[in-house]
């Protein structure tokens, strides 16, 4: 297959063609030419879109699909199609299933289910057996089978010694440990950010302290043990400051933030819409602004959708009873494109996550394997249910104004385009 991409603005800070408009010729999955103009031939497949921009393929490091066990929420097959049409050539899939991904065979199951897909799937295996936080899972065996990191999805490790031992043990094979930032004793039965809005609405609060205390503990342990620690989906200004100070000390710590925590605040809760019930909870406008600055300054390493499909039976219920989580693959680019510089966005969803999770980096250069996302950064639209490709429809960005349109991807010698 020969694919010709016409008049595309290249966004790739590592490339000599950065911010230049070029034609790109791909043959058998490899970039053969990048020139001002390449004449098409009859057997070429053309990609010719309005205001076409391209970058290295996007990588989302926090995605849940449900399968195995929760196929009614999302299957791996459909989830990967959604990811491709949302601009992602790679996703890291959480151990958010039943049973959880905590064995060599379950890691291999995920990888085999994704075989032949345009979007690459990388498993994040559970850190503890059955994600119960009691004993460490077989980390080395799972890494040998293809797991790229280890963490219990949305479940903090309360046992200090277990986290210490995990950080020490993983150093034997360069493993990356994820620690969800939440102190359960402090959070209690809270369901919303503790503050003015939770008080007005009569919702039990989760103080920012619950997140910050857990992060402080993990950073103390990391300083003692060494190793590599990744803190997923931080949500408060103080969390950002703690991680910034740890990086200044030279600790090997990285962190991510979700799109909804960068943009949406707990002001959204006044309608008691369960699509805004997330974990961590939506915080204050001040936190949102601080996190945006954290991305721009480089303290925050990764942006993620934290895509978590929840079926209607567990979302269309009373706010206090609804399951936490929002989908986010389809809306991520359009949501963030209005608050972040395009180059900052691309860096935090291409090169940085690949480096942190040990995935081979990609580049838009002659001779490189084509791994490319297609998009238009300027088209404005309203995100409606018609734009949701996921099986579950629990989006916090429903009916929000977005800026930017995703056209598709080229990956694994497959061209996937939206209609």
pLDDT number for residue 409: 98
Q: Is residue 92 part of a domain?
A: yes
What Å distances lie between residue 110 and 18, 34, 77, 106, 341, CA to CA? 35, 36, 10, 7, 34
Q: Is residue 124 part of a domain?
A: yes
Residue 333: exposed, middle, or buried by beta-carbon count in 10 A (0-12, 13-18, 19+)? Answer: buried
Residues 342 and 380 reside in one and the same domain: no
Q: Binning pLDDT at 50, 70 and 90, where does residue 42 land? A: confident
Give the domain-ending residue among 335, 356, 377.
Answer: 356
Report residue 14's pLDDT band, with 50, 70 and 90 as the boundaries.
Answer: confident
- On whether both 49 and 61 belong to a single domain, the answer is no
Residue 195 has pLDDT above 90, yes or no: yes
How would you classify the pairing of strands 58-63 and 401-411?
unpaired
Q: How far apart are the C-alpha atoms of 206 and 7, rounded to whole Å?
A: 49
pTM comes to 0.95
Does residue 333 belong to any structural domain of this protein? yes
Query: Any residues with CB less than 8 A from the CB of 419 and at least 6 apart, and which?
Result: none
- Give the CATH number of the domain where residue 16 resides: 2.30.40.10
**Pair 9, 158 in one domain:** no
Same domain, 208 and 252: yes
DSSP assigned state of 12: -
Query: Mind listing the pLDDT tens digit for each residue in 118-170?
Result: 999 999 999 999 999 999 999 999 999 999 999 999 999 999 999 999 999 99
Give the CATH number, domain containing residue 167. Answer: 3.20.20.140
- Asked if the peptide bond before residue 68 counts as cis, ω within 30 degrees of 0, the response is yes
Q: Do residues 247 and 154 share a domain?
A: yes
278 is a domain residue: yes
Domain co-membership, 19 together with 146: no
Boundaries of domain holding 393: 2-53+366-417
CA 211 – CA 222 distance, rounded (Å) = 17
pLDDT at 401: 95
pLDDT digits (tens, 9 = 90+) for 74-111: 999 999 999 999 999 999 999 999 999 999 999 999 99
Q: Which of 356, 376, 395 delimits the end of a domain? A: 356
In terms of Cα–Cα distance, which of 384, 418, 382, 370 is closest to 4? 370
Confidence at 327, pLDDT banded by 50, 70, 90: very high
Return the closest-CA partner of residue 253 out of 183, 181, 349.
181
- Structural domain contains residue 361: no
Per-residue confidence (pLDDT) for residue 419, from 0 to 100: 79
Claim to verify: residue 133 and residue 23 sit in the same structural domain: no
Is 372 among the domain residues? yes
Query: Based on the domain organization, do 269 and 408 belong to the same domain?
Result: no
Neighbour count for residue 71 (Cβ, 10 Å)? 16
Residue 216 in contact with residue 242, Cβ under 8 Å? Answer: yes
Residue 101 CA to residue 111 CA, distance in Å, equals 11
Name which of 65, 58, 60, 61 is nearest 308 in CA terms.
65
pLDDT confidence of 338, banded at 50, 70, 90?
confident
**Average pLDDT along the chain:** 96
Residue indicated by tokens 């800070």: 13
Q: Are residues 215 and 303 both part of a single domain?
A: yes
Q: Are residues 330 and 371 in the same domain?
A: no
- The DSSP annotation for 123-152 comes to EEE-SBGGG-SSSB--HHHHHHHT--EE--
Q: What is the pLDDT of residues 153-167, one digit of tens each?
A: 999 999 999 999 999
Banded pLDDT at 323 (limits 50, 70, 90): very high
Whether the per-residue pLDDT at 1 is higher than 90: the answer is no
Rg (CA), the chain: 21
42 and 134: one domain? no
What is the length of the chain?
A: 419
How far, in Å, CA of 369 to CA of 28, rounded?
Answer: 9
- Helix/strand number for the chain, H first, E second: 13, 18
310 and 395 co-located in one domain: no
Report pLDDT digits (tens) over 212-249: 999 999 999 999 999 999 999 999 999 999 999 999 99
Residues with a known catalytic role: 306
Summarize pLDDT for 344-400 with one digit per residue, the tens. Answer: 999 999 999 999 999 999 999 999 999 999 999 999 999 999 999 999 999 999 999
- Specify the 3-state DSSP secondary structure of 286: helix
Query: Which of 333, 356, 379 is the C-terminal boundary of a domain?
Result: 356
Q: Which pLDDT score, from 0 to 100, does residue 135 have?
A: 97
Is residue 127 assigned to a domain? yes
Total domains in the fold of the chain: 2
Q: Does some domain include residue 108? A: yes
pLDDT score of 256: 98
Q: Which of these, 239, 319, 223, lies nearest to 286 by C-alpha position?
A: 239
pLDDT value at residue 395: 97
């Amino acid at each position: 297959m020969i694919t010709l991409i016409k008049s595309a603005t290249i966004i790739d800070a590592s490339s000599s063609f950065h911010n230049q408009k070029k034609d790109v010729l791909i043959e058998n999955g490899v970039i053969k030419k990048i020139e001002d103009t390449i004449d098409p031939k009859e057997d070429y497949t053309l990609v010719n879109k309005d205001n076409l921009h391209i970058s290295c393929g996007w990588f989302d490091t926090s995605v849940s699909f449900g399968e195995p066990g929760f196929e009614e929420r999302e299957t791996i097959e459909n989830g990967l199609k959604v990811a491709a049409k949302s601009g992602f050539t790679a996703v890291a899939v959480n151990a958010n299933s039943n049973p959880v991904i905590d064995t060599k065979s379950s890691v291999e199951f995920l990888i085999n289910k994704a075989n032949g897909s345009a979007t690459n799937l990388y498993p994040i295996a559970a850190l503890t057996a059955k994600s119960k936080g009691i004993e460490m899972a077989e980390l080395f065996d799972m890494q040998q089978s293809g797991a790229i990191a280890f963490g219990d999805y949305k479940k903090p490790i309360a046992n200090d010694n277990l986290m210490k031992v995990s950080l020490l043990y993983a150093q034997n094979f360069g493993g990356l440990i994820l620690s969800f930032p939440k102190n359960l004793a402090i959070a209690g039965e809270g369901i919303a950010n503790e503050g003015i809005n939770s008080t007005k609405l009569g919702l039990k609060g989760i103080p920012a302290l619950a997140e910050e205390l857990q992060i402080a503990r993990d950073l103390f342990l990391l300083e003692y043990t060494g190793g590599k620690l990744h803190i997923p989906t931080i949500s408060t200004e103080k969390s950002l400051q703690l991680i910034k100070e740890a990086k200044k000390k030279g600790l090997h710590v990285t962190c991510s933030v979700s799109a909804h925590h960068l943009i949406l605040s707990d002001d959204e809760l006044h309608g008691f819409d369960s699509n805004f019930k997330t974990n961590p909870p939506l915080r204050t406008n001040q936190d949102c602004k601080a996190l945006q600055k954290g991305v721009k300054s480089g303290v925050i390493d990764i942006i993620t959708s934290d895509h978590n499909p929840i079926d209607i039976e567990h979302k269309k219920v009373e706010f206090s009873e609804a399951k936490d989580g929002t989908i986010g693959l389809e809306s991520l680019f359009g949501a963030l494109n209005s608050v972040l510089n395009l180059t900052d966005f691309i860096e935090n969803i291409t090169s940085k996550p690949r480096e942190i999770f040990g995935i081979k980096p990609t580049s838009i250069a002659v001779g490189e394997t084509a791994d490319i996302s297609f998009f238009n950064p300027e088209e404005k639209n309203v995100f409606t249910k018609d734009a949701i490709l996921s099986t579950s429809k629990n989006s916090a960005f429903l009916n929000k104004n977005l800026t930017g349109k995703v056209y598709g991807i080229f990956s694994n010698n497959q061209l996937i385009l939206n209609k």
